[in-house]
């Protein structure tokens, strides 16, 4: 677990958003590419959000965001791919 004032240890990097970036308006997504996860912050219900979901991105569940970085977990439906 990382305190709010600290930066997460690699490979987790803080996703930058505006100070009012809440999960009500924004979605945090991830996709496994070449054996690593890449992340994105998108406004919910927008064209970009829909495009990412269609492109195979997974929205990170809120409980996982609250828990913070931990052991690597496969993306939804991607457990057998690696």
Q: Which two tokens stand for residue 56?
A: 């195979």
Q: Which pLDDT tens digits describe the chain residue by residue (82 residues)?
A: 556 666 656 666 666 666 655 667 888 899 998 888 888 989 888 899 999 999 999 998 888 877 766 665 555 554 444 3
Q: Under 8 Å CB-to-CB from 35, ≥6 apart: which residues? A: 82
CA distance 80 to 50: 25
Other CB atoms within 10 A of residue 48 CB = 13
- Output the DSSP codes for 19-79: TT--TTTEEEEEEEETTEEEEEEEETTSHHHHHHHHTT-EEPPHHHHHH-S-S--PPTT-T
pLDDT of residue 61: 86
């Amino acid at each position: 677990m990382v305190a709010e004032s600290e930066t997460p240890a690699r490979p987790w990097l803080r996703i930058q958003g505006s100070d009012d970036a809440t999960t009500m308006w924004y979605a945090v997504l991830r996709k496994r590419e070449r054996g690593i996860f890449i992340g994105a912050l998108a406004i919910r219900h927008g064209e970009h959000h829909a495009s990412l979901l269609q492109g195979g991105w997974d929205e990170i569940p809120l409980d996982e965001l609250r828990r913070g970085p931990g052991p690597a977990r496969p993306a939804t439906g991607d457990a057998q791919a690696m």
